[in-house]
Structure 1
Amino acid sequence: MIARQARPAPASGRFARSLAMLGVLVSANAQAQAPACKLLTDEHGLWPLPNCEVVDHRLKISADTLKDLNYDDHGLAVVYADQGFHYVDRTGHSLPVLTWDNGPETPQEGLLRGRVGNRVSYFDLEFRQVVPGTFDFAWPFQDGVAEVCNGCRRGTPDADGHTPMEGGERFRIDRSGRRVK
């Protein structure tokens, strides 16, 4: 003899409709959520990146997805997540970098600008911090020198989306972070 699974008692119409509506709302909300990470592509701009999540402001990308990323000559790929651009190496280590000209920071003289808390610092292409994060803002290095500022603040963006830094003390530093004339 085959035992039959007991059928649940029919739900009341109002309760069943409530459950159905809850299911529709939950699935619509899940579909409406943006992906945690997006890949920057030449063809499509920002494109959803599967198997990537942000945990405590750090990217977590699956090994299979890492293999498929488009790496540059420095062995770095660009991912947009957590409201900013990140460089990712082939091992999955990442560095959040400044947005510059409406895209990610590009290496200048082998250095990238990134944030340490609310301060700006310089990192090498292996994501090691080489100049302490003691500046409110910093510009890229050029000929071994970079302009930085403390006490400056973001101004009003122009029509192209560029945001000037206003006020504060501006000065120049060398690659070790020392002031230069």
Structure 2
Amino acid sequence: MKRLLPTMFVFAILLPSLSYAQSLISFEKNDLYGFKNKKGKVVITPQYTLVNDFNEKGVAFVLNKNEWACIDSNNKYLLSPFIFDNGPDYASEGLARFVENKKIGFFDSACKKTIKAEYDFANPFENQFSIVCNGCASVKDGEHSTIQGGKYGVINKKGKVVVSIEFDSIVSIDIRKKTATVTKGNSKQEVKLQ
């Protein structure tokens, strides 16, 4: 019972704040959006061009001057999400991408940074792994972009590099065999996931 009390205490503190954030309702005034509580009191003044609702973790994505951000219910800036399909990146396997100092990292549903922004590009997680690159660049191709150049590797969901970032491409990852097929120069080879 002694171990249960501290856990119950933390839960009792966090639960009201999470439900409070979820109870915030967006509203518009003069073409800008803000948030009110259920009683109609303005909690975050209208200042955003577009807003998403607060999620169960107490965070929301907002657009201000063509820049997306994740905020908490106190209007505190948490991070800048990677932009995909004209909005914040979609979560894949519980993680989404964010941008910091022109590098990409990953965050969870509470906008907590879980993998440092250390890569010039990173693919969404698939089967517990993300293909990342450094020295690569996004090149416009009509209304879309492609990633060109650089060296590629693979990270796991803990941010550990499991295939060193030294290859020209990562062709595929075989989860069962715990290998990746990579290219370097004109050769293709299979390497073990570390």
Q: 2:62 matched to 1:79?
A: yes
Number of residue-to-residue matches in the alignment: 124
Query: CA 1:65–1:144 in structure 2 vs 1: closer, same or farther (change >3 Å)?
Result: farther
Q: 2:182 matched to 1:165?
A: no
Secondary structure at the counterpart of residue 155 of structure 1:
strand
Whether contact under 8 Å (1:111, 1:122) holds in the other structure is: yes
Match of 1:63 in 2: 43
Matches within 5 A, 1:136-151: 136-151=120-135
Query: Could you say which structure has the higher helix fraction?
Result: 1
Q: TM-score, normalised by structure 2?
A: 0.54
Whether contact under 8 Å (2:58, 2:110) holds in the other structure is: no
Match of 1:14 in 2: none
Q: Which runs of 5+ in 2 are unaligned?
A: 1-25, 36-41, 163-192
Query: CA 1:144–1:69 in structure 2 vs 1: closer, same or farther (change >3 Å)?
Result: closer
Q: TM-score, normalised by structure 1?
A: 0.57
Whether contact under 8 Å (1:102, 1:162) holds in the other structure is: no
The one-letter code matched in structure 2 to 1:111 is L
Whether contact under 8 Å (1:84, 1:98) holds in the other structure is: no
Q: Which runs of 5+ in 1 are unaligned?
A: 1-40, 42-46, 53-61
Matches within 5 A, 1:10-159: 48-50=31-33, 63-65=43-45, 70-93=53-76, 94-158=78-142
Whether contact under 8 Å (2:59, 2:110) holds in the other structure is: no
**Identity, % of aligned positions:** 27
Of structures 1 and 2, the larger Rg is shown by 1
Secondary structure at the counterpart of residue 144 of structure 2:
coil
Q: Which moved more, 1:112-121 or 1:79-88?
A: 79-88
Distance 1:153 1:70 in 2: 33
Query: CA 1:177–1:88 in structure 2 vs 1: closer, same or farther (change >3 Å)?
Result: same
Whether contact under 8 Å (1:101, 1:162) holds in the other structure is: no
Query: Residue 157 of structure 2 is aligned with which of 167, 172, 175?
Result: 175
Distance 1:74 1:100 in 2: 22
